[in-house]
Amino acid sequence: MSSILRLGWPSAEFVRRLLECDALMADHLAPVRDHLVRHSQDDGMAAAAALHGAINTVLWNTCRDRGLRYACFEDLCRDPLLAFREIFDSLGLPYDDSVRRMHEELCNEGPSDPAACSPHSVHRRSSAMAESWRSQLKNAEIDAIREVWDLFGIPLYESEADWATGAEVGVEISII
């Protein structure tokens, strides 16, 4: 969600495009159509949250309906080497030393300060990224995002701890 805002995506335009996709609306987004319409005219945080909710609704439904495994961003970032090894194992793919070294380089050697990363960089220190959104958004912004997110009924980020900020979870905030 923070990435959508940081990259300056035209969220409302994307929401309008989703509304025009009859099959997508029928298969996944009909229950949240009113929410999407409500947030389809401004590119603010609510539109970005609606876009994020719509994308995740489609992904969640697809995983659920097809018995696919899902992985949460924060979980991947907290222990990326273990997470990727488990994903490779579940897919029957070899996870040899060369793959592990590549993952170590991509996940552990980037800047420890998320603000130092280019918005399009894939070379980031994963452990720094897991909770970075907590320091990039103000409490009021997080509350507004949660209000929209909760409308989508996705069984992720349901607890208060999932939405806690900074000191509430012991995260050192270094980015404003």
Nearest of 100, 62, 66 to residue 83 by alpha carbon:
100
| 36 neighbors 50 (Cβ within 8 angstroms) | yes
| 116 neighbors 132 (Cβ within 8 angstroms) | no
| 135 neighbors 171 (Cβ within 8 angstroms) | yes
Burial of 152 (0-12, 13-18, 19+ CB in 10 A): buried
Q: Give the model's pLDDT for residue 118.
A: 63
Global pTM exceeds 0.85: no
Q: Phi and psi (nearest 5°) for 125?
A: -75, 110
What ranges do the domains of the chain cover? Answer: 1-69+137-176, 71-130
Structure tokens of 8? 């300056």
Q: Give the model's pLDDT for residue 170.
A: 39
Question: CA-CA distances (angstroms) from residue 67 to 30, 63, 70, 147, 163?
Answer: 22, 6, 9, 28, 27
| 72 neighbors 159 (Cβ within 8 angstroms) | no
Q: Give the model's pLDDT for residue 50.
A: 92
Helix, strand or coil, per DSSP, at residue 175 = coil
Q: Give the model's pLDDT for residue 130.
A: 66
End-to-end CA distance of the chain: 16
Q: Residue 145, Cα to own-chain centre: how many angstroms? A: 12
Q: Which H helix or E strand runs over 100? A: helix 97-108
| 125 neighbors 108 (Cβ within 8 angstroms) | yes
Write the single-letter amino acid at 86: E
Burial of 11 (0-12, 13-18, 19+ CB in 10 A): buried
For each of the chain's 176 residues, which pLDDT tens digit applies? 667 777 788 899 999 999 999 999 999 999 999 999 999 988 788 899 999 999 999 999 998 999 888 888 888 888 888 989 999 999 999 999 999 999 888 877 766 665 666 666 666 667 666 667 777 778 888 888 888 888 888 888 888 887 876 544 433 322 22
Q: Which residue has the tokens 């300060």?
A: 113
